[in-house]
Amino acid sequence: VTRRRTIQIVAALALFALLAWAVNVVLQRLAEPPAPAAADTDSTPPEPADVPHITATLFYAGIDGQALLRVQREVPLATGTVPQGREILMVLMQQEVPAPYVSVIPPGTTLRAFYVTERGDAFVDLSGEVTRNHPGGSFAELLTVYAIVNSVITNLPTVQRVQILIDGKEAETLAGHVDLRRPLTPDLSIVRGSGAR
Amino acid sequence: VVTRRPALATIVIDPGHGGEDPGVRGAAGSEEKRLTLEVARRLKALVEARLGLRVVLTREDDRALTVDERAAVANNNKADLFLSLHANGAPGGSRAGAEVFFVRLDDEGRAVRGAADAESVVLPVLGGASRRIDVIRWDLARANHVDESEILATMIAAELQGRVPTATPALQSGLIRVLMGANMPAALVELGYLTNEEQEAAMQSDAFLASAAQALFDSIVRFGEYLQKRPSR
């Protein structure tokens, strides 16, 4: 009886130890932070479709070059007016534009800076290529200037006016015609479908 | 006997671009700076010979001028009319035709014009009369002449139609820098599109150059008649 009793006690202790180990393991797992979701996936960057986008109204010339046209394009979503304005301008400056539209931003032009004052004046600082590579002509210059001004103001409701800077400085004109010395308001007279053209 | 000063005594013609700035270049190699100088010379000869007016070109040869230097030539010569001549460009190559621009005032320009009207100074002159002097920033002098500039531009657009190809619409407004500082009625004439191959070829012809110069001459005559009939200020 004593031997039998001893075996029962050992078995009970072993069962208790097993239970204690199991509870300990469960408690440890509960206390650990969750493993990263991507830990078991490859490290390739997410597809563009996975990045949140907004649909922005940007301004391009038609294939005939007669006027600016409103074009709906996907622009990466950003938090805040200034980051979103940068994203809008970066897309506007891409030379690859879906047919049948034509970019009116001279090739090679880059965005140096974008900021907005408390008064709602936005400053678009462009690289010198916007002047050096511009084809010239009053009409072509109006298309370039108002593609930028209209695109910013149409998509950023807090912006009232836009001033274009070149290489960080105030500029007289892009190519000798349109006055850039002050912030500009949108001009829809050169936009097809706005009543003027 | 008091003789009234003629409404048009001095005209300044501005051949756009020049020097290292060729302006628009056509596919066949035509340069805006050469075309504008050629038309300006023809127009100067017409006005001097047939109207006997004093005509000053902002540049007589192939040299670069800033936009302020061009307006300064007009202001320093006390010109009664300022014409800036250009050739146009557009993406795609299909847009064609002459266009005439006058200055559209932005919010600041409208405010300046209102302030100038309100703050003009009346000074006594010999004989007991008085003369109104407008107080206005030099670079916004244009604000005083915006209405007459629109009339001038409308007349030029009308005279160009039927003489040379014109765009639709031929009359345009905008914040045109070279016109902003000119303290007299002023317009910018885009004679045609050098980016349109067919038009580039036509614009080199003697027929085009003569027709353009004649249309501009006739619009100057019409504007002079309008100024003569206008009640004196």
Over residues B132-190, the pLDDT tens digits come to: 555 555 555 556 688 999 999 999 999 999 999 999 889 999 999 999 889 999 999 99
List, for chain A, all residue ranges whose pLDDT scores fall below the cut of 50: 32-47, 195-197
Considering all CA atoms of chain A, what is the largest pairwise distance in Å, rounded to the nearest integer? Answer: 113
B65 interface with A at CB cutoff 8 Å: no
ipTM over 0.90: no
Alpha-carbon distance A9 to A143, whole Å? 93
B165 CA to centre of own chain = 19
Give every CB contact of residue B16 below 8 A, 6+ residues apart in sequence. A176, B23, B32, B33, B36, B84, B85, B86, B87, B178, B188
**List of chain B residues whose C-beta atoms are within 8 Å of the C-beta of residue A63:** 92
Continuous segment of H or E residues that includes residue A75: strand A68-76
Give every CB contact of residue A3 below 8 A, 6+ residues apart in sequence. none
Please identify which residue in the block is written with the tokens 């030539």: B73
This prediction has a pTM of 0.79
Q: CB-CB: which of B25, B90, B176 is closest to A179?
A: B176
**List of chain A residues whose C-beta atoms are within 8 Å of the C-beta of residue B194:** 137
- Helix, strand, coil proportions of chain B in percent (round to 5)? 45, 25, 35
- pLDDT for residue B115: 60
Mean pLDDT of B186-195: 97
- pLDDT for residue A40: 34
Answer yes or no: do A136 and B32 touch at CB < 8 A: yes
Q: CB-CB: which of B95, B106, B175 is closest to A66?
A: B95
